[in-house]
Structure 1
């Protein structure tokens, strides 16, 4: 989908003000453990990272 739309960045929006704190923490944990690695791999595999991209830390 990202390729067909020509997207080169990934952005997370988390509505923290409307969620209980424990749910926010869980969402951040899932994002870090499951989503970030997949997005990082996608961009690395497609050689789409550039100097302006976030430098992910393992």
Structure 2
């Protein structure tokens, strides 16, 4: 899951776009806990990419 998520986050124009897309998916699926974790991972990955740059 993690490598695919890293690619997905890096290919998204902005972290806001990524999170917005994830929130819409959460609302559609109602799988809040799993997707909440996915969003948190995405934020962490995004922050790591910023610090690495």
TM value normalised by structure 2: 0.48
Q: Which has the larger radius of gyration?
A: 1
